Structure 1
């Protein structure tokens, strides 16, 4: 390793917050204890506050300093910082401007290669960050996707079967022009132009296994409808536009403030202190009627007729279920 690589690795170990003995650091870095001591002194000269304790239980620990020293990030750390700070804009905690300023501050003190890596990381968040069960996309995959998007290079990859599907099914070989990354409900998605199908596709990033095969340069394509995030959101809703394919309104006998926390992207309009109008959407009329049914309160359908018919169909189905033989269990 070069001196710079060695210092970066040493700093990465010290940043874990634990205390390291000199012999352990020497073993982890494959250097001598004397070199460890010299490298610790170099980091101190750069402004890092590294405290040392003597004795059998002693070692080195990185402490908080009084000034910001030069920041050393490896590739994974740079990607993690960029993702975390960019995602902070969707938390709704009033830290959006501070997160942007923090990212710019860190960017200014990064070496040029890492600065370019950080600049390549662009994505949009649909809904609230961290909302829903997390499906982890490997960091090296996100790093590869952001770089191909930034460089506008064709992506060759294997697309592994969805979890829970036939284990014997082989990964599908795909080639696409990657355009945009989107994070929704703690899942990552790649919007890309599929070269074999000649159409836009949305790929789950956790199922992508990028190839190292160099890709050809491609020209940027305009997002469907002019907005990649809106395109992904519409597909999740089973629609070609920004609205759900099925939208209805009911008058519900509950105060607006008790309904509002549970409606997602629905609209609540107070009628009086004890009732409100609730407008919501879903991918089917039966599904929408079931969503309205989550509120344990009297309600009247305002519009449309399709929603009224779905309420009637579900009522009949629930009535049949309630009067079914209690002991009629499957073998």
Structure 2
């Protein structure tokens, strides 16, 4: 489907201009084509952000009109802010507009990278790339620096200590294998990291450290070292030691964005790159940041861990077989790690499986 026609269809669907037959066809098209569904979702998000910015500008305009009217009539008075107070005022006034602009810039950069990848002329050369998000968004980085300075200025005025921000230069995914704070991810995610923070879907952040890492199997085990972390009870999934079947439907949760993202596909080969028997090849849509994410079957069993993708082939992704987790735990020498033995995801609808699973999938940030 032509991109222009697709974007037009998204706008008509969003504005309620489609007939019932068109709606059925469009929803079925998105359901059966992950690429079209992703593009439609991105364009829908883009339009939503534009509408939010438009509404915000109109709201601010109305507030300014009322303020000017009341000031001219002498009902209220306003004083010009000076020094740091003026900087903080301007930041608070325009921070949301800047954030929207940063979001739009991010969408444009991701879309451009996707188009370049799809239409690359050098498709005959297989390029395997780890799925760690190491692209530093300059806009986001500058916003973080400005906000940090403004927090410092505020703390001087209020004389209250401010916890320093953690500036990360990569993002990936991990998930719990033991409720006492043990997580599994890829070795290539944490191997050169000086500092590691893991964050759950609620936004709670904890410092963590790698207690085991193996470059050959590309598996690493992390332990949350933060004393504020509380033991998690009832991990709902299990890890089968048997191999998954060809064509088996699977899904994943991960952090290619600042919020958890769902993707679905199927197992396309029982071996990985160049016949690697420790991995699967799966057909699924993933992006940088998905490294270390769980690959889950319909029964709620974690059959693999996403590790890399073939850059010049669409939907060719490799996942380490989950039975390697048993070997990693044994090699770590940590007998206190106990993998869950009860699967409470089995028999649930997909939406319910996701709701239970996402509490145990964490974003990794590091530098």
Normalised TM-score (structure 2) = 0.25
Larger Rg: 1
| Relative contact order higher in (CA < 8 Å, ≥ 6 apart) | 2
Q: So what's the TM-score if we normalise by structure 1?
A: 0.26
